[in-house]
């Protein structure tokens, strides 16, 4: 059996980037041989094993064959006679199709090192077009690797895939996964730029067709979290469009709620001293600001950095208004109690607005 480091670990090593995850391919191996050496079998569709000490993944060399539509429509073949080049050929981009021996020797049958030097995202082969998820993966790699461009031949392949409607075959979870990873990259706006080049906004991102990448690529967004960047990308939408987008992508509930809260709250919080107090109170109640365990601080923090303002006085006002309790009005109940609490909180907040 021969072992080779493959994929992103080799690419990042060549680029001088920090290597976090290491994946290995095993050529000339069999499941029984790896099990005999203490490897643990995991996975389902093809044999993957965990190293007994490092717990890194070791996969038997394999090839893939298209068997049906969609991202999962592939059959895999693994055997002792599957070569390293066969295994590398099935990969998406040349920069991800480089292997390295344990001694540090590189095996690069598809010119990945040259493409790293020239900053090209280039498909390994025309088989790239068999997996529609690769359109979004390329957009994500453009966001992940600053300065890299999609090779013209690969762009043509991607356009053909989009024209054929292949992206509609993808499961929402995988689409969200690529978008979410892009949002955490150094230049997330490059994801949008690649979508525009193809173009591939339909069917998943139709709300962003009019969004200009340079509008969301400004310097201030570099320190923002993924969900905060998503909120910026949705600033031009109305609440119904945001809800539709999040439902289509099956975004996690906390991400959807954050984006919607920011969309409603930011214009009001940015002018909290002058805005109608009833409107301000309604927004604070929507954020559950008067509850002990509230997510309002995450919204406040984002609005401060996005609008470059300071909300310390509003925080103090909210904390003071939070002290207003039903016990303060022992003679009231029902709607009368609710109205009294709201009136008192309004007075408290107004006191801070006038300071």
CA dihedral 193, 198, 201, 204 (to 10 degrees): -110
- Report which DSSP code applies to 18: P
- What pLDDT band is residue 355 in, cutting at 50, 70 and 90? confident
Confidence class for position 213, pLDDT limits 50, 70, 90: confident
Residue 348: what pLDDT?
93
Whether residues 260 and 201 fall in one domain: no
Q: Do residues 94 and 163 both lie within one domain?
A: no
Domain span at residue 312? 249-355
Last residue of a domain, one of 118, 148, 180: 118
Mean pLDDT of the chain: 91
- Whether 242 is covered by a domain: the verdict is no
Tell me if residue 291 falls in helix, strand or coil: coil
Domain boundary among 118, 148, 183: 118
172 and 256 part of one domain: no
Do 131 and 109 touch, CB atoms closer than 8 A?
no
What CATH number does the domain containing 186 carry? 1.10.110.30
Q: Are residues 262 and 337 in the same domain?
A: yes
SS (H, E, C) 199-252: CCCCCCCHHHCCCCHHHHCCHHHHHCCHHHHHHHHCCCCCHHHHHHHHHHHCCC
Residue 49's SS3 state is strand
Q: Cα separation of 139 and 194, whole Å?
A: 5
* Residue 182 lies inside a defined structural domain of this protein: yes
Same domain membership, residue 72 and residue 100 = yes
- Contact yes or no for 119/37 (Cβ under 8 A): no
- 49-104 pLDDT, tens digit per residue, is 999 999 999 999 988 766 555 555 555 667 788 899 999 999 999 999 999 999 99
- Residue 178 class from Cβ within 10 Å (0-12 exposed, 13-18 middle, 19+ buried)? buried
Domain count, the chain: 3
pLDDT for residue 66: 60
Give the pLDDT confidence score for residue 186 in this predicted structure.
Answer: 85
The answer to whether 322 touches 290, Cβ cutoff 8 Å, is: yes
Question: Is the pLDDT assigned to residue 43 strictly greater than 90?
Answer: no
For 322-350, the pLDDT digits (tens) are 999 999 999 999 999 999 999 999 999 99
Query: Phi/psi of residue 307, each to 5°?
Result: -95, -5
**Same domain, residue pair 106 and 134:** no
Tell me, what's the pLDDT at 80?
81
Asked whether residue 240 is assigned to any structural domain, the reply reads no
Give every CB contact of residue 283 below 8 A, 6+ residues apart in sequence: 264, 265, 268, 269
Higher pLDDT, 75 or 158: 158
Q: Which of 274, 269, 332, 275 is nearest to 304 (CA)?
A: 269
Same domain (yes/no): 254, 212? no
Is residue 268 over pLDDT 70? yes
DSSP 166: G
Does residue 102 lie in a domain region? Answer: yes
Identify whether residues 108 and 3 lie together within a single domain: yes
Q: What is the CATH number of the domain that holds 102?
A: 3.30.460.10
Q: Answer whether residue 104 is part of any domain.
A: yes
114 and 132 together in one domain: no
| Residue 239 counted as domain residue | no
150 in Cβ contact with 143 (< 8 Å): no
Q: Are residues 191 and 113 in the same domain?
A: no
Both 93 and 133 in a single domain? no
pLDDT at residue 267, as a whole number: 94
For position 252, what pLDDT does the model report? 97
Residue ending a domain, choose from 68, 96, 118: 118
Whether 74 is in a domain gets the answer: yes
Read off the pLDDT of residues 126-155 as tens digits, 9 standing for 90 and up: 999 989 999 999 999 999 999 999 999 999
Would you place residue 221 in the very low, low, confident or very high pLDDT band (cuts 50, 70, 90)? Answer: low
Provide the 3-class DSSP secondary structure of residue 123. Answer: strand
Q: Do 91 and 196 share a domain, yes or no?
A: no
């Amino acid at each position: 059996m021969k072992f080779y480091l493959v994929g992103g670990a080799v690419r990042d090593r060549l680029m001088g980037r920090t290597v976090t995850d290491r994946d290995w391919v095993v050529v000339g191996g069999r499941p029984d041989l790896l099990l005999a050496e203490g490897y643990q079998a995991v996975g389902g569709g093809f044999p993957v094993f965990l190293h007994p000490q490092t717990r890194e993944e070791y996969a038997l060399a394999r090839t893939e064959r298209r068997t049906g539509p969609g991202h999962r429509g592939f059959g895999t073949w693994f055997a002792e006679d599957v070569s390293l080049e066969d295994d590398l050929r099935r990969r998406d981009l040349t920069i991800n199709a480089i292997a390295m021996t344990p001694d540090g020797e590189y095996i690069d049958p598809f010119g990945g090192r040259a493409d790293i030097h020239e900053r090209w995202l280039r498909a390994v082969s025309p088989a790239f077009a068999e997996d529609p998820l690769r359109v979004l993966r390329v957009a994500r790699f453009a966001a992940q690797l600053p300065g890299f461009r999609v090779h013209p031949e690969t762009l043509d392949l991607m356009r053909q895939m989009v024209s054929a409607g292949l992206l509609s075959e993808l499961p929402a979870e995988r689409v969200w996964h690529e978008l979410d990873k892009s949002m955490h990259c150094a230049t997330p706006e490059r994801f949008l730029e690649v979508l525009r080049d193809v173009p591939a906004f339909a069917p998943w991102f139709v709300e962003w067709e009019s969004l200009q990448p340079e509008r969301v690529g400004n310097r201030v967004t570099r320190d923002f979290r993924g969900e905060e960047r998503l909120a910026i990308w949705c600033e031009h939408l109305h609440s119904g469009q945001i809800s539709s987008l999040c439902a289509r992508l099956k975004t996690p509930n906390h991400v959807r709620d954050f984006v919607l809260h920011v969309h409603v709250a930011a214009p009001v919080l940015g002018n909290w001293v002058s805005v109608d107090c009833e409107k301000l109170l309604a927004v604070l109640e929507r954020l559950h600001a008067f509850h002990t365990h509230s997510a309002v601080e995450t919204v406040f923090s984002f609005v401060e950095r996005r609008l470059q303002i300071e909300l310390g006085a509003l925080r103090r006002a909210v904390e003071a208004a939070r002290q207003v309790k039903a016990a303060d009005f022992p003679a009231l109940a029902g709607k009368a109690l609710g109205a009294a609490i709201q009136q008192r909180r309004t007075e408290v907040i107004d006191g801070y607005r006038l300071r």
